[in-house]
Structure 1
Amino acid sequence: MSLPEKRRRLLSLKNTDYEQIDQIDFDTEKSGRGNERCVGEEAGGFVDDDDDDDVNDFGMEEDSADNCLSSLKLLCPGALSCCLSIIFAPTWLFSVRMNRHNEAKLALNWGQYVTVKNTSGLFLVNPFGVQLKSVSLKERAMELRDEKLVDLKGNPVVCSGCIFWRVSSVKASTLNVEDVSVYVKTCALATLKQVVAKYPYSPDFEGQPSLQTEGEALGRELKLDLQKRLAHAGVKVLAFNMTDLSYAPEIAKAMLVKQQAEAMIRARQIIVKGAVDMSEEALNQLHEKKICQLSDADRTRILSQMLSIFCADSKGNPTTTIQASSGALPDHRQPKLGR
């Protein structure tokens, strides 16, 4: 999309009164940077880039008409404010305000919404009845540390997560919620509880989704669910990932024993299967090569010994059966009979 087309599209959105706009994607070329995919979610709600006065940090071209309109609203937000500022003209000397980089200010006039000032630098504000609320447009990270939750089976687990987010609508984040940071954290905890309760801690069978195996899918689901909760708060969720997962301390020991038992059973199944296959192969080779003729009793005895050796926990010791020969004992070992 060319720059004139983007300008006409933004100008057509002026009458939305700074309401949140659906994402506008476009590609722009800059020297040495190639094509960039950028997103804009609020008309005029971005900060100018220091390197390019016409393009803001998120890649959207600033609307100079909107900036002029915003400045005019700050100078004359209402009839009462204008009259008082004319009567007490010297108060204009104390009406200079400053916007930092990646910062926006929402203006209220006697409690009513006026406009949003998003360009960085100095600007004038009517000294009467105008209240400014600063909102940071920077990306933020929030951590949920060691939250005790319940999985699908009702087992208590301890989860930690990290949320990456930023404000996308200054008006919504300021007027619709009391404290946007606290609101994001509360909604993130509720989302984490809801999603964790859908999955077991570990899979009961191969292919079952679980908290241990579905990390990437869980991250996507957490992000989408949290974005739905924060849509009216003017917050854009960039990522929501689980960073730590473990059983709660009160059941950790019991679950460790269970995991060890399950691992031992799986290992025994593999050992038994391998032992049977090896024993069968050994007997078949003895029969095919005609090394010796084995009766059913001999095959049973050999098979029993091989399985005992293969399946034993410790190293097996070979034994040889010795049959006693018939005959009388030597004279010096003959029992002496009493007279």
Structure 2
Amino acid sequence: MKEKQAWKINGFIGILAILVLAGIGFPLILTGGGSSNGSLLAGGIVLLIAAALGLSGLSIVQPNDAKVLTFFGTYIGVIREPGFWVSIPLTNKNTVSLRVVNFNSDKLKVNDLEGNPIEIAAVIEYRVLDSAKAMFDVADYEEFVKLQSETGIRHIATQYPYDNFQEDDSMSLRKNSDEVADQLAIDLQHRLRVSGVEIIEARIMHLAYSSEIAAAMLQRQQASAVLSARKVIVDGAVGLVKSAIHQLAEEGVVELDEEKKAQMVNNLMVALVSEKGTQPIINSGSIY
């Protein structure tokens, strides 16, 4: 199915034409009924039937709505322009909303790329682009959007890990939520094209580890954060020790052999890297 425009005229002009037909038909019926001229009676009845048929073609289209017209099972077209219209008589008129709709999916429990169970939910913003497809190509386009959205969310969630612990450029659901949402929108648009629906935006609104592994994954994240912090501390300490040894040697403050340098490096690294404050031992020399 493909949307097409239905024939229509202004409703007020149609009402005027219906009143004219009725105004001519009634006198003809009265005149023909009181005389032997059957043609006047038949003409009046035809005009009244035409007026009644014209009334069946009246329709009011609200803003951001569309009237889909079918004539005894045959698709006639659609009226998109808001207003009061007269179209083909005896047509069935179904209203399809063209407004933007926000759909919040349920929290879905799926496995990410690494097999970890996670909870994920998204908000989908869409609108009907082709009313004929929405009405005739799927049984219920709103229910179709819901089911296909859940399928798309499950599919996207299995393509990426929840988090990236390798610190490389690979994508993850947590760190690259915008890119993942864009991929979700593309996937949903591909799935929903048969229903005439346009995906405006898709955003992940809930993302978390499933309850049975949340505690373990929290410990893993904390451990990863501690290791990253310790690496920064160690790198800084090494730089400070190198700078201290280089400055002592350059200014000639003290002559250090390799053993003394190793001992100094050890003491400085312990003092700089230790999480708790160190207690220095002062060597005051010997009296002998």
Q: Which amino acid aligns with 1:256?
A: L
SS of the aligned residue for 2:142 comes to helix
**Number of the residue aligned with 1:214:** 176
Q: Which aligned pairs between 1:128-167 and structure 2 lie closer than 5 A?
A: 128=90, 130-167=91-128
**Number of the residue aligned with 1:226:** 188
TM-score, structure 2 normalization: 0.78
- 1:289 and 2:247 correspond: no
CA offsets 1:43-79 (integer angstroms, 9 cap, x no match)? 54xxxxxxxxxxxxxxxxxxxxx644999xxxxxxxx
SS of the aligned residue for 1:132 comes to strand
Q: Which amino acid aligns with 1:116?
A: V
Tell me, which stretches of 5 or more residues in structure 1 are unaligned?
A: 1-17, 20-41, 45-65, 72-84, 327-339
TM-score, structure 1 normalization: 0.67
How far did residue 219 of structure 1 move? Answer: 2.4
SS of the aligned residue for 2:182 comes to helix
- 1:319 and 2:281 correspond: yes
Q: State how far apart, in whole Å, the 2-side matches of 1:247 and 1:271 are.
A: 30
**Number of the residue aligned with 1:280:** 242
**Number of the residue aligned with 1:301:** 263
Equivalent residues of 2:10, 2:86 under 8 A apart: no
How far did residue 322 of structure 1 move? Answer: 5.7
Of 172, 189, 199, the residue aligned with 2:150 is 189
SS of the aligned residue for 1:213 comes to coil
Q: State how far apart, in whole Å, the 1-side matches of 2:76 and 2:89 are.
A: 14
CA offsets 1:125-182 (integer angstroms, 9 cap, x no match)? 6665x32211011121111242222210011122221111111111110001121111
Q: CA RMSD in A?
A: 2.8
**Number of the residue aligned with 2:228:** 266
Shifted more, 224-233 versus 210-219: the winner is 210-219
Tell me, which stretches of 5 or more residues in structure 2 are unaligned?
A: 12-44
Q: State how far apart, in whole Å, the 1-side matches of 2:109 and 2:48 are.
A: 59
Q: State how far apart, in whole Å, the 1-side matches of 2:116 and 2:46 are.
A: 69
CA offsets 1:253-299 (integer angstroms, 9 cap, x no match)? 11110001011111112211221221122122112211122233322
Q: State how far apart, in whole Å, the 2-side matches of 1:70 and 1:170 are.
A: 22
How far did residue 115 of structure 1 move? Answer: 2.2
**Number of the residue aligned with 1:247:** 209
Q: What is the number of equivalent residue pairs in this alignment?
A: 252
Q: Would you tell me which structure has more helix in proportion to its own residues?
A: 2
Q: Which amino acid aligns with 1:173?
A: A
Equivalent residues of 2:8, 2:88 under 8 A apart: no
Q: Which amino acid aligns with 2:221?
A: Q
Change (3 A) 1:323 1:290: closer
**Number of the residue aligned with 1:24:** none
Structure of higher RCO (CA pairs closer than 8 Å, 6+ residues apart):
2
- 1:170 and 2:131 correspond: yes
